[in-house]
Amino acid sequence: MLRAAVIQLNTQNDKQANLAAIEAQIRACVARERPDWIQLPEHAEWLGGSSGAPAVAEPFKDGPTYALLSRLAAELKVWIHGGSFYEQSDNPGRAYNTTVVFDRDGVEQARYRKIHLFDVTTADGAKFHESATVDPGRQIVTYDCEGVKVGCAICYDVRFPELFQELMRQGAQLIALPAAFTLLTGKDHWETLIRARAIETECWLAAAAQWGSYPTPAGERQSFGQSMIVDPWGAVVARVSDGLGFASASIDTDLVARVRQQIPVGANKAIHIEASL
């Protein structure tokens, strides 16, 4: 049984301070929860509006975020699902929103680039145009974590159930969803969407979130928080409400099997749509 933890951060636009906060929270989480696997939120290393993404984006494997997470995974002997950080794109002056996963030896085991980019104007008039500076990923990614098949998603991906259906089809038992949900959308949609994706896929969902205010060129923005772990029946079994913190739960893959036996949605599916990303 895998002990999984989600860490909630209040990332700002000071990268060095953010990296120090990541290290402090990972160390505290390991000391208290003794997890096998830790997930950070989206934009763990820098949060200041996507217009700044190209300036802070790191060369892959040669940046400070990658180095920090690899070092901590090896030192603390824990898997780290690194939320996401800005990675330099193959297109000059642009970035990817990238998750990197490290095993207990600090070796990279998976890399996922966010597929669905957040291009919206919310009801309060705030405009988010992630694709102005960020390129989308094209690959659906799963990996094996000591016998648990983990599927990768990031934040806005949660609104696209076909991605989650494909992760289930590829064998996912746990789906990781690092996020930086806005306060406005989060208060009405965050938990509902996470529980729906868990129920639909009959997977565990682990969602590490950003919380609190952060500055952007367009003004102060607010993240919702409420990091959580949801079981395959759709029940919230661990939560961080407001503020910094972490929570953990044991990922029981036998429960996945029991729920899928009770309600065999995979076997009963009448329409199979191939992913075309």
Question: For 140-164, how does the pLDDT look when each residue is reduced to its tens digit (9 = 90+)?
Answer: 999 999 999 999 999 999 999 999 9
pLDDT digits (tens, 9 = 90+) for 29-55: 999 999 999 999 999 999 999 999 999
- What percentage of the chain has pLDDT greater than the value 70? 97
Sequence-distant (6+) residues with CB within 8 A of 220 are 213, 214
Percent of the chain's residues with pLDDT above 90: 91
pLDDT single digits (tens) 220-237: 999 999 999 999 999 999
Question: What's the mean pLDDT in 63-89?
Answer: 98
Annotation says 149 is catalytic: no
pLDDT at 277 over 80: no
| pLDDT tier at 86, thresholds 50, 70, 90 | very high
Residue pair 214/11 in contact (Cβ under 8 Å)? The answer is: yes
Out of 149, 155, 166, 203, the active site residue is: 155
Say whether 155 is catalytic.
yes
Identify whether 203 is a catalytic site residue: no
> pTM (2 decimals)?
0.95
Do 117 and 4 touch, CB atoms closer than 8 A?
A: no
Catalytic site residue from 114, 130, 145, 202:
114
DSSP assignment letter at 156: G
Q: Which of 42, 58, 166, 202 is catalytic?
A: 42
- What CATH number matches the domain at 2-265, 3.50.50.60, 3.30.565.60, 3.60.110.10, 3.90.1150.10? 3.60.110.10
